[in-house]
Amino acid sequence: MSKTLKFILILTAYAALTGLTVYLFPRYNNAFNYHFEIGKPWGYDLVTAEFDFPIYKTDAEILQEQQEAIRNITPCYIKTADLPNGIFVLSLEEHDKLYSEGYKRVSIRTARHTITTLAVNELMTPKTAYELLGEQCEPNIIADSAANANLYQNAVESVSKTFGLVQSGERIIDRGEIVTAETYQILTSLARAYSEKNITRQQTTYVQIGYLALIILMITLFVLFLVIIKHDLFVQLRSTLFFCLLIAIFVTTSFLILRFTADDTLLYIVPFAWLVILTSVFYDSRTALVVHAITVLLVSLAVPSPYTFLFTQMIAGIVVIYSLRKMTQRAHLAHTALLTGVAYAFVYTALTFATTGTYTHLQPRIYMFIAANAILIICAYGVIYVFERLFGLVSDVTLIELSNVNSDLMHRFAEEAPGTFQHTLQVSNLATEAAKKIDANALLVRTGALYHDIGKLMAPLNFTENQQNGDNPLSHMSNTEAARTVIAHVSDGLTLAAKHRLPQIIRSFIASHHGTSLVKYFYNSEANAHPGEKIDESMFRYPGPKPATKEAAILMMADAVEARSRSLKEYTEESIATMVNQMIDAQIQDGQFAETPLSFSDVEAIREVFTTKLIAIHHQRIAYPDLKNRPEK
């Protein structure tokens, strides 16, 4: 893929993320888009009324007044028959209904259209009428449904939905003031007044432009961070897709919750900690913090309580970064989940106390949401595996599993190619120490070193370290054929790696551990055998690619110096140091590290580590004296 095409695809991915965020962003149809809660401080500038508007009662207040108005009406009944003593009997069900709904009096219309008003306690049920008259009586009054329906409707409509008026220019609330129940009612009335006014298309457009500009700003800041600070990640299409997909998942989930439930407390369930965990596991903590911050900022634009949401999520993200510097065991994830849950609960409780001054506003269900969030954080272990497969990435846990020398492949390696296996272990140790010295990924280079020569398993006896009887098959081949046989261990290694489904990053170590260097033994032999003739170097060069990372460069150096150290005639500090310098200088002059981010100080540090370690490995040992004959006692 050309660089131009890759760059276009990268920009397209970030543009698609921007478009998705804008499309899913919860719509606001008026010009009063402030977020506020009772007991919380007002986080905006001074608000004054731009026009006169009524103060609306709450739904609960309106319902209560409507119920009171209905109780104050006098239900209508129709008399259907005369009973002795002029008594009025209604059914037990209707009688209980009048009492339960709190009615005091009823009006009864007779056949002559006269109206009689009675107290409810003057009415009888069939049972009380029987006790009075000594005979069974059927109800002689029934409810006038049509008249009562009109009475109910008039009572409901008589209740005003407002109770006051705020005049234009009147001060409502200023920054830092606590939103009281009264102020809350005025603010919601103002928001309703805005929505009921004929907001112009221009005002709506300005609102949408404002949110669009903020969304673009957030994503642009993230792209600039990658371009300036993490350029190697910016130019990787795989990394771009990883970041865009991760951010899109959490933005989409959050916006859908806010759109369809309008309950921002449900966001406590959303495991935003995954953003930090996944990014830090596959990349680094600084990138993880930025990914988390950008995503949280995007979501905070839409939540009803942005201050609380932003503060809580940022604290939780920092806790995750501190508690999960390295995830090499499953227990680390459980530890992080526990600390993050405690952080969520602590911050929520503290903010509630600080803004309301009472514990009565604490919601038990939020603590349940936090517990569910902690469980989801533990589930990130499975999500890590999914992202590994989806993007060809590798986590520390996977590297540790791969570096297990007791695995079936490593066991076969030790059995069938013991010399190469021992060389591999030594290279792994050298590379690991060098990586630690220059702050490279020591675990990655250690694992890559264990597999770099795995291709020699295909024909182990073609390599001198595995030959025990002195017979070298390569000695019976031409120099060209022998070079081709040696070079083949790279492609054979890639074949074995694919068969055993090793991650792509491990395969890259196999492919690049010789770069495009010459198989010098056979090239020099060919040149000496044909003096004065031009030798085709391509027949004696590895196919590459050259190392592109610090870790791959370290492995290439370690492989060369460890192999060369086995052929030294004497092991002194001077001979070892000279050999290390010669081998690394030759690789540099051959341009093998031109594509890596190694600095001069890195190379010098690596030289020092290799020299020190090889001197320690090949130090001169004390000769043990033989036991001389001693006279018996």
- Where do the structural domains in the chain lie, given as residue ranges? 47-189, 219-387, 396-617
Minimum mean pLDDT range among 168-172, 190-194, 277-281, 496-500: 190-194
Question: In sequence order, what are the beta bridge partners of 89?
Answer: 124
**What integer is the mean pLDDT of 535-564?**
93
Say if residue 588's pLDDT is above 80: yes
Task: Tell me the residue type at 468.
Answer: Q
Binning pLDDT at 50, 70 and 90, where does residue 330 land?
low
Reported as half-sphere exposure (CB side, CA atoms, 13 A), residue 256 has a value of: 8
Cα distance between residue 253 and residue 264, in whole Å: 12
Token pair, residue 11, equals 């920009």
User: 596 and 573 in contact (C-beta within 8 Å)?
Assistant: no
Binning pLDDT at 50, 70 and 90, where does residue 274 land?
very high
Binning pLDDT at 50, 70 and 90, where does residue 120 land?
confident
Supply the pLDDT for residue 33. Answer: 67
Question: In sequence order, what are the beta bridge partners of 56?
Answer: 162
Cα distance between residue 125 and residue 127, in whole Å: 5
The residue to which tokens 């995954």 are assigned: 274
- Could you tell me which residue, 225 or 148, shows the higher pLDDT? 225
User: 267 and 277 in contact (C-beta within 8 Å)?
Assistant: no
Cα distance between residue 539 and residue 371, in whole Å: 63
- Could you tell me which residue, 399 or 243, shows the higher pLDDT? 243
Burial 139-156 (b: 16+ CB within 10 A, else e): bbbebbeeebeebeeebe
Give Cβ neighbours of residue 124 (< 8 Å, ≥ 6 apart).
87, 88, 89, 90, 132, 137
Q: Are strands 141-143 and 47-48 parallel, antiparallel or unpaired?
A: unpaired
Token pair, residue 49, equals 């009324």
For 143, list phi and psi in degrees, rounded to 5.
Answer: -70, 140
Q: Are strands 105-109 and 76-79 parallel, antiparallel or unpaired?
A: parallel
User: 351 and 363 in contact (C-beta within 8 Å)?
Assistant: no
**What integer is the mean pLDDT of 283-312?**
91
The gap from C-alpha 301 to its chain's centroid, in whole angstroms, comes to: 18
CB atoms within 10 A of CB 311: 17
For the domain 396-617, what is the CATH code? 1.10.3210
Is 386 strand, coil or helix? helix
Cα distance between residue 528 and residue 374, in whole Å: 69
The predicted-structure confidence for 176-224, as pLDDT tens digits, reads as follows: 788 888 998 998 888 888 777 655 555 667 778 888 999 999 999 999 9
Is 482 strand, coil or helix? helix
Token pair, residue 307, equals 């201050």
Q: Are strands 105-109 and 115-119 parallel, antiparallel or unpaired?
A: antiparallel
Cα distance between residue 412 and residue 46, in whole Å: 75
Token pair, residue 314, equals 């940022």
Cα distance between residue 348 and residue 362, in whole Å: 9
CA gyration radius, the chain: 41
Percent of the chain with pLDDT over 70: 94
User: Per mean pLDDT, which of 348-357, 401-410, 442-451 is the most reliable?
Assistant: 442-451
* Cα torsion through 422, 423, 429, 432, rounded to 10: -130
Supply the pLDDT for residue 355. Answer: 73
Binning pLDDT at 50, 70 and 90, where does residue 28 land?
low
Task: Tell me the residue type at 500.
Answer: H
Is 93 strand, coil or helix? helix
Minimum mean pLDDT range among 43-52, 120-129, 552-561: 43-52
Task: Tell me the residue type at 91.
Answer: S
Minimum mean pLDDT range among 136-150, 200-214, 360-374, 512-526: 200-214
Token pair, residue 626, equals 């033989």
- Cα Dmax for the chain: 150
Token pair, residue 495, equals 């074949």
The gap from C-alpha 270 to its chain's centroid, in whole angstroms, comes to: 9
Token pair, residue 629, equals 């004959």
Terminal alpha carbon distance of the chain: 86
